[in-house]
Amino acid sequence: MGEQVNQGKRKYAALDVLAMYSTLTEDHWRSCLETAATKGSVEKLSAWRYGLQAGLADINSKGLGSEKLDLWVIKRIRNLERCMRWILRQKYPMPGDIVIPKYAKGKRMDYMMDAKKAKQLRDREFEMFLRKSNF
């Protein structure tokens, strides 16, 4: 019977990063991220990011952590952040992301204003994602 971790007042449950490190394959992780990205599951990405951070904190508090495990978890968190950026790129497309015919010749000012607005929305929502999913 495994030792239970007191979740306390955590927003999301901690993930067992030691088990993930030993069993999670790159293909399985990629398929999980692709599924979350295509469905636009921001809440799921937040829960995973928070859970990875909480799980790593739990492992390190027990003295079981290592530099290799820390780097592995940081890479997985970075994957989640990249996935979130991809979702935001789909949600708030910038004129430079895809070719939009309405920005033909003579529409440079509209192009710049739309690009700035999309960039601001992306940045604001990404910052909220990071705040919400921080441990």
Q: Which domain holds residue 112?
A: 17-133
- How many Cα atoms are found within 13 Å in the side-chain-facing hemisphere of 99? 3
Q: How far apart are CA 121 and CA 129, in angstroms?
A: 12
Q: How many domains does the chain have?
A: 1
> What pLDDT score does 132 carry?
85
> What pLDDT score does 29 carry?
92
- pLDDT tens digits along 28-80: 999 999 999 999 888 999 999 999 999 998 898 888 878 899 999 999 999 99
User: Any idea which of 13-22, 70-79, 103-112 has the lowest mean pLDDT?
Assistant: 103-112
> What pLDDT score does 2 carry?
40
* Within-domain flag for 72: yes
* Within-domain flag for 49: yes
In percent, the amount of the chain with pLDDT more than 90 equals: 32
* Residue 4 reports pLDDT greater than 50: no
* Within-domain flag for 7: no
> What pLDDT score does 35 carry?
92
Q: How far is CA 115 from CA 17, 60, 74, 81, 109, in A?
A: 39, 43, 31, 21, 10
* Within-domain flag for 89: yes
* Within-domain flag for 11: no
* Within-domain flag for 33: yes
* Residue 1 reports pLDDT greater than 80: no
* Within-domain flag for 32: yes
Q: How far apart are CA 69 and CA 19, in angstroms?
A: 11
* Within-domain flag for 3: no
Compute the average pLDDT of residues 108-114.
62
The larger pLDDT score, comparing residue 56 to residue 100, is at 56
